[in-house]
Structure 1
């Protein structure tokens, strides 16, 4: 499918590795221009090389509003436009109710949520001008819970609420806003978590068996395919949606 993303400038937070890296790679293959906002130098430089220079790496972890404004300004100074945003950066940091504390909880929400708002806020004039699109990467934990990760789950739930809120607010500008909810995706961060168990291979096999479609993990590339579709004109009448790319993990009976 030709997605007509040629020369579209798309900001991708956490765009060097895992799901974000797959999205950046997919954008490059479609002829789009990813702005990779990520502190990971090696992986980002490989993507920029693959893009033959039609990409920008901003080696930054988005923490403050000033960071986000700087990233937007760098993208505009380099390419002169912004056509879309993929809010993706974040981490399941395990700040729970019993084992966490108010300070850690507040930090977890700030780390996983605030930059979603900041990046869109500062890029909004460009998104209005170009009738852009926004894709928020959330998580199935926002609707299922997980246990032991209150901060991350609260942030992911807020991302889903903001997806609907922004879809309404931005209707007059024809800016589409949608969210993707991955479940079990085998990223480098996920692998690191798996390796923390005494028998990593057994744990991975146990989780995979619970995924109804194919009893396998979702790949980062499968999440990327949905993100690219949502950014494109092929999804021109799709907004305010929460889309599950998870092999049926969230909604189907896992006994299947």
Structure 2
């Protein structure tokens, strides 16, 4: 399917590896121009090699509003337009009620949530001109809980709320806003988490057998496919939606 994304300029936070990396590569395949906002330069270089003249990495960590403003301005200066934003960067840092503190909770929410708002805020003037789209990558933990990770789930839940809020606020500009919700996706961060268990192989097998569709993990490419579709004009009448790409993990009876 031709998604008509040729030369569309798309910002992707955390776009150098994992789900973000798959989104960046998928956009290149569609002829789009990914702007990879990610401090992981080594991984980013491998993606840039696929389309050196039609891609850009901005190797900064989005710690402050000024970082997001700089990233948006650099993208516009180089390519003269912004057609979409994928908010993706973040990490499950296991800051819970028992194993955290008020300060750690605030920091966790900040680093997993605030840059979603900052990037959208600074990209908005350009998205108004292009009638672009925003996709927020959230997590099934926002609706199921996980245990021991209050900061991360609070941020992920807020991302779903902001998806609906922004979809309403931006209707008048014909800017669509949707969220993609993964469950179990085997990314480098997921691999690191699995390795924290006494028997990582058994833990992974226990999780995988409970994924209803095919008893397998979702791939980063499958998350990317939904994200890229939502950025395209083929999704021109979809907004304010929370779309689960999880093999039925969240909503189907796992005893299946």
Which category of TM-score, normalised to the shorter sequence, fits these structures? Answer: over 0.9
Quote the Cα distance in structure 2 between the aligned partners of 1:53 and 1:81.
15
Quote the Cα distance in structure 1 between the aligned partners of 2:101 and 2:24.
35
The question of 1:100 aligning with 2:100 is answered: yes
SS in 2 for 1:185: coil
Can you list the C-alpha shifts for 1:162-187, whole angstroms capped at 9, x where unaligned?
00000000000000000001000000
The question of 1:186 aligning with 2:186 is answered: yes
User: Over the residues paired in the alignment, what is the CA RMSD in angstroms?
Assistant: 0.5
Map of 1:33-48 to 2, 5 A cutoff? 33-48=33-48
Q: What does residue 15 of structure 2 align with?
A: 15
Quote the Cα distance in structure 1 between the aligned partners of 2:82 and 2:102.
37
- Normalised to the residue count of structure 1, the TM-score between the two structures is 0.99
Give the number of aligned pairs: 256
- Normalised to the residue count of structure 2, the TM-score between the two structures is 0.99
The question of 1:224 aligning with 2:228 is answered: no
SS in 2 for 1:168: helix
Quote the Cα distance in structure 2 between the aligned partners of 1:245 and 1:96.
26
Quote the Cα distance in structure 1 between the aligned partners of 2:106 and 2:167.
26
CA deviation after TM superposition for structure 1 residue 51, in Å = 1.1
Map of 1:130-209 to 2, 5 A cutoff? 130-209=130-209
Q: What does residue 249 of structure 1 align with?
A: 249
Quote the Cα distance in structure 2 between the aligned partners of 1:54 and 1:148.
41
CA deviation after TM superposition for structure 1 residue 198, in Å = 1.8
Q: What stretches of structure 1 of length at least 5 have no aligned partner?
A: none
CA deviation after TM superposition for structure 1 residue 53, in Å = 2.2
Quote the Cα distance in structure 2 between the aligned partners of 1:109 and 1:194.
23
Quote the Cα distance in structure 2 between the aligned partners of 1:173 and 1:17.
32
Quote the Cα distance in structure 2 between the aligned partners of 1:64 and 1:204.
36
Q: What stretches of structure 2 of length at least 5 have no aligned partner?
A: none
Can you list the C-alpha shifts for 1:51-70, whole angstroms capped at 9, x where unaligned?
13210000011111000000
SS in 2 for 1:70: helix
Runs of 4+ in structure 1 over 3 Å off: none
Quote the Cα distance in structure 2 between the aligned partners of 1:108 and 1:232.
32
Quote the Cα distance in structure 2 between the aligned partners of 1:61 and 1:219.
25
